[in-house]
Amino acid sequence: MINKEIKKTYLNSSVATICTALFKRGFRNQFIQGIFPLNPNLPNMIGLAFTVRYIPAREDLNTLEVFKNPNHPQRVAVEECPKDYVLIFDSRKDPRAASAGAILITRLMVKGCAGVVTDGGFRDSNEIKNLQIPSYHNRASSPTNLTLHQAVDINVPIGCGDVAVWPGDLLVGDKEGVVVIPAHIVKGIADEVKSMTIYEDYVIEKVRKGSSIKGLYPLTDEQEKSDFEDWSKSN
């Protein structure tokens, strides 16, 4: 689990700033491509990853009957995803068949899960957007098209929207999308993001007052460095 201070830092940071902090560490491909929040008015999403992996379906192995099996990976994942974790699906960037629907996502919400993410789509999207759980997908999916992919693994490394996701990685989502932070650098990136956010607040304040960005963003001018130090002390 992550401590309260680190969680607060990420909750108050943009995904764009986090991506820049990751880029400074050499991580250039951590933003999940092709997804958006169903309800952009909810607070930022933050939670550790609990994964589900889909593969292309084979019709004889992926009939409606398989959902009666209590050990069906999708159902098991919904029940086993811990409180404050994000359930994330590798749906092969294919939204034609639903990764999940309103009933399963309601179950995650009631359990206290932090969010749900897929690089495919959800069915019942109009209902899901009204739930109090951050949900990210590509687009609404066909309600009954089950023949495109099937769940085969839970809590294993996956790919989601062209990003590698390991169980326990940190997922942060805002109105623009979701970024994946490798578990071993969560604290270091939080420290960097905190410093960057403070400086960006300073820059926005100056730019709104008419300042040029030259020497200010990025910070290369010695006088600007001195001004920022004075500002930091008083703020």
- 168-196 confidence digits (pLDDT tens): 999 999 999 999 999 999 999 999 999 99
Beta-bridge mates of residue 165: 158
Burial of residue 128 (number of CB atoms within 10 Å: 0-12, 13-18, 19+): buried
Mean confidence (pLDDT) of the chain = 93
Model confidence pLDDT, tens digit, residues 191-217? 999 999 999 999 999 999 999 999 999
For residue 48, list its beta bridge partners: 85, 170
pLDDT given for residue 63 in this prediction = 67
Q: What is the pTM of this model?
A: 0.92
Q: Give Rg (Cα) of the chain.
A: 20
Exposed, middle or buried, 184 (CB in 10 Å: 0-12/13-18/19+)? exposed
Count CB-CB contacts under 10 A for residue 229. 9
